[in-house]
Amino acid sequence: MAESTLSVTDDPNPLWVQAANVIRHRIADQTLPPGRRLPAERDLCQQLGVSRVTLRKALQQLVEEGVLSSSHGRGWYVAKAHAEPEWPNTLESFTETARRKGLEPSSTVLVAEVVPATFDEAEEFGIVAGTDIFRLVRVRHLDGLAIGVDDSRVPLALVEGIETVDFTHASLLRELSERQIETAQADSIIEARGCSAELAEPLGLTAGDPVLAMRQVLEDHSGRTVLITTINYRGDRYRLHTTFARVPGPRFP
C-alpha cells in the first residue's frame, strides 16, 4: 500500500475518517484488490500517520460498510467482489429491490437541476422542446458500495417541488407515486460498454473498464412516458437475471 501520511491541516474531517477514506480509495483503485489482506496494523499506523486506536476505528467503520472483513487473529481483508443479483421480471425501484434483499440503499447526488428538454427528450415525453424537466444524477450504493450511476429525467410539471427533496435516501419512483403517478411498465435496452472517463471516478473504475448500461423509458397506466433513466452498473457488481419462455406451437417450417 502506497505511503499516504495524513495531516490534520489537510482535511477538516477527524483522523479516523481520513484514514478510512485513504483505505477506501486504495480499494477503489485496486491497489488493494478484493480478498487481499491489509498490511499489519503497526505498518498501517506508520503509513497513515495515525494511532492504533484511530486506525481500528477507521477499520471497524469499513467493516460495517461491508468494504472490509475481519478475521480474529489473522487480520483485516478487503471484502471479495460479488455481483449483486438483480430483480426478477417485475418493475420496481432500486430502493425496493435493495430492501427486498435486506440491503441498505443510499445515493450520492451528483446533479439535481431543472433543464430545458432537448428535441429528443421532448419527443419521448410528448412535450414541447424547451419545457422544463428535472434531471437527477446519482451514484447508487448498496451497503455503502458503489453499484452504478443513475441519470434520470422527468417533466417538471409532473413533480413540482421535487427540487427540495433530498435524494440521498429518497426514491424517485416513490416521489412519483406520492404525486399519484404510478409507473406501469418500462421499455428497457441493456448493453455492455466501456466505462467513460466521466463515470470512472464516481464508480471507482478506470476509463474503459466494463459497465452494463440499462436505459429505461417508464410509462404510466395510460401509456404516457413519465420517466427516462439510464444507469451504468459496475460490471463486477451487477448481474441481470431473467427468464425466457418458449411459445407453444409450431416453430419450424
Would you state the pLDDT for residue 69? 85
pLDDT at residue 95 tops 90: no
Q: Are residues 119 and 142 in the same domain?
A: yes
Distance CA 231, CA 214 (A): 5
Q: Are residues 23 and 132 in the same domain?
A: no
pLDDT digits 0-9 by tens, 41-74: 999 999 999 999 999 999 988 887 778 888 767 7
Q: Are residues 49 and 64 in the same domain?
A: yes
Would you state the pLDDT for residue 114? 96
Assign residue 48 the CATH number of its domain.
1.10.10.10
Q: Are residues 120 and 62 in the same domain?
A: no
185 within 8 A of 91, measured Cβ to Cβ: yes
**Domain final position from 40, 62, 78:** 78
Assign residue 146 the CATH number of its domain.
3.40.1410.10
Q: Are residues 192 and 215 in the same domain?
A: yes
Please report, as a single letter, which amino acid is at residue 136.
L
22 within 8 A of 16, measured Cβ to Cβ: no
> Comparing C-alpha atoms, which of 162, 167, 154 is closest to residue 107?
167
Q: Are residues 143 and 190 in the same domain?
A: yes
Report if residue 250 sits inside a domain: no
Report percent pLDDT > 90 for the chain.
51
20: part of which helix (H) or strand (E)? helix 15-28
Would you state the pLDDT for residue 87? 47
Would you state the pLDDT for residue 252? 64
Averaged pLDDT for residues 9-33: 80
Would you state the pLDDT for residue 8? 44
Q: Are residues 183 and 225 in the same domain?
A: yes
The answer to whether the Cα torsion of 181, 187, 191, 196 is positive or negative is: negative
> Comparing C-alpha atoms, which of 68, 75, 6 is closest to residue 40?
75
Would you state the pLDDT for residue 143? 83
Q: Are residues 70 and 110 in the same domain?
A: no
Burial of 114 (0-12, 13-18, 19+ CB in 10 A): exposed
Report if residue 246 sits inside a domain: no
DSSP 8-class letter at 127: S
Q: Are residues 34 and 129 in the same domain?
A: no
Domain hosting residue 100, numbered range: 84-239
203 within 8 A of 103, measured Cβ to Cβ: no
pLDDT digits 0-9 by tens, 100-136: 777 788 899 999 999 999 999 999 999 999 999 999 9
> Comparing C-alpha atoms, which of 63, 41, 219 is closest to residue 144?
63
pLDDT at residue 1 tops 80: no
Report if residue 96 sits inside a domain: yes
Report if residue 134 sits inside a domain: yes
Phi first, then psi, for residue 64 (nearest 5°) are -65, -30
pLDDT digits 0-9 by tens, 147-204: 999 999 999 999 989 999 999 888 899 899 999 999 999 999 999 999 999 999 999 9
Q: Are residues 105 and 222 in the same domain?
A: yes
Neighbours of 167 (CB within 10 A): 19
Q: Are strands 75-78 and 105-116 parallel, antiparallel or unpaired?
A: unpaired
- Strand, helix or coil at 46? helix
Q: Are residues 115 and 42 in the same domain?
A: no
Distance CA 154, CA 114 (A): 10
Domain count, the chain: 2
